[in-house]
Amino acid sequence: MSKQKICVMGLGYIGLPTASLLANRGYQVHGVDVVQETVDIINQGKIHIVEPDLDTFVQSAVNSGNLVADTKPTEADIFIIAVPTPFKANHVPNVDYIVAATKSIAPYVREGNIVILESTSPVGTTDLMEKTLREEGVDTSKIHFAHCPERVLPGKIMHELVHNDRIVGGTTPEATRVTADFYKSFVKGEVLQTDARTAEMAKLTENSFRDVNIAFANELSILCDKFGIDVWELIELANRHPRVNILQPGCGVGGHCIAVDPWFIVDAAKGDARLIKTAREVNDYKSEWVVEKVKNVALTFEKEKGRKPKVACMGLAFKPDIDDLRESPALYITRRLVADNIDVLAVEPNIQTFDEFPIVDYRKAIEEADIIAFLVSHKEFKDLEIDADKKILTFCKLDVKQKVPVA
C-alpha cells in the first residue's frame, strides 16, 4: 500500500525541512511556495536557506521523485500549513498568510483529509482555518483539523524534527488521534495529545518562558555595565548555585518565534500579561541600549582622534551560525547605526550579499575598523586575537583577546 500524499504549504525554514524529511520517509510530497525562484531552486535539488544537512535531504528527496515543488497546491491526503505569522503595527498578530494558504487549498480538500497548522499562531487560529474553509464552500464536517507547533532550533532542525517531543491538538478528539498517528510515523520523540487551543497556547508559553528568562539576563547586563561588573563572570558565579540557571545576555532577542510569539499572548490578554509584556519591552530595549552604547563610543573616538571611526558590526543573523535575519536585533542595530551616519562595516559570514549595504569579510572588517562590536557569536569570531589599538565591544559571549601592545 502506497503512503499518503502530503501537500506542504510554505517552503521556508520549517516547511522545506519538513517536506524533505517526509519525502525521504517515502511520502509523496507536493511542496508549495509563492516565490517561483524558490520553487525552481528546490526542483533542482538545491536549497535557498542555510541549514546543516538540509541540502542532502532535499537532493535525495527530489532525486527520488518524492518531492516536487510548485506555486500551486494539489489534492492530497494531508495538508500542512507552515507559513509565516508576523505581527502588524502595535504588535497585533497577522494571520493573513495562514488565511491565504487555507483559501488556496479549498479546491483540493476532500472528505477524510487532515489539515495541520504548524505555523506558530494565536489561540483560535486552527478554528479560524476550519471557518475559512467552510466560508469557501467546503464541507468541513468530515475533515480533521489540528495544530502541531514546530519547536526546532535553527542549526539543528533536521535532527530535532525527528527527535523532539511534539504536541498535537485537534479540534476534535478524532482529529487529534489521526494527526498524532501521522506524526508517530516519523517522530522518535513522544507525541503528546491535547486539544487545538491548548496546543496553540503551549507553543506561545514555551517561547514566552524563554523570553522572560532572556530579559532577566539582558537586564543584568545593563546593570553590570552601569556598576562596572563583568556580566559573564557574574552569571557564571551565580549559576554555581544549585537552583540557579541564568541564561546568557545578548544584543536583544530575534527570530520568528521568541521575538514574536509573546506578543500574541499580550494582544489576546488585554492587559493581563504584564510580566510577558515587560520582558518583551526589556529585550527590545536592549537593542536600543546597544545602539546608544556604540554611538557613544564612536563619539568619544571622534573627539579624541579628530575623525569619524569605522565600526565593524560583527554578525547580522538573529543567532550564531545561521543565515536567518528574521527579527534580528543585530540587523536592527546595524541599520540604526547606518541611518545615524556611522561608518559601518557590516559582517555576516553566512550570507554573501545584502540589498541594503555591502557585506564585508570579517578579517577585512577587523583590519579596517577602529571599533569592533560583536553582536552575534558566530564560530568565525571565536578565539580571535585583535590589535591592541582597536576598541572592542562585546554584546555576546565570546573569548576575544587583544594583542599585547609593542613597547
pLDDT tens for residues 130-178?
Answer: 999 999 999 999 999 999 999 898 889 999 999 999 999 999 999 999 9
pLDDT at 256: 83
Q: Give, in order, the Cα–Cα distances in Å from 129 to each of 9, 109, 119, 261.
A: 13, 12, 12, 19
Side chain identity at 316, as an amino acid letter? L
d(CA 66, CA 37): 20
- Of the listed ranges 223-232, 278-287, 383-392, the least confidently predicted one is 383-392
d(CA 211, CA 18): 26
Mean pLDDT for the chain?
Answer: 95
DSSP for 174-195 reads HHHHHHHHHHHTT--S-EEEEE
Q: Rounded to the nearest 5°, which phi and psi values hold at 118?
A: -100, -20
Strands 78-81 and 5-9: parallel
Instruction: Respond yes or no: is residue 382 known to be catalytic.
Output: no
Active-site residue (options: 7, 257, 313, 396): 257
Q: Is the pLDDT of residue 1 over 50?
A: no
Active-site residue (options: 203, 277, 286, 319): 203
Instruction: Respond yes or no: is residue 5 known to be catalytic.
Output: no
Question: Higher pLDDT residue, 227 or 91?
Answer: 227
Q: Is 352 exposed, middle or buried (0-12, 13-18, 19+ CB in 10 A)?
A: exposed
pLDDT tens for residues 279-333?
Answer: 999 999 999 999 999 999 999 999 999 999 999 999 999 999 989 999 999 999 9
Which domains, ranges and CATH numbers included, belong to the chain? 5-196 (3.40.50.720), 286-402 (3.40.50.720)
Q: Is 164 exposed, middle or buried (0-12, 13-18, 19+ CB in 10 A)?
A: middle
Q: Give, in order, the Cα–Cα distances in Å from 234 to each of 9, 223, 342.
A: 46, 11, 32
Task: Write down the pTM of the prediction.
Answer: 0.90
Question: What angle is formed at CA 284 by the lines to CA 283 and CA 288, rounded to 5 degrees?
Answer: 115
Give the mean model confidence (pLDDT) for residues 17-24.
98
Side chain identity at 6, as an amino acid letter? I
pLDDT tens for residues 102-122?
Answer: 999 999 999 999 999 999 999
pLDDT at 34: 96
Q: Is the pLDDT of residue 402 over 90?
A: no
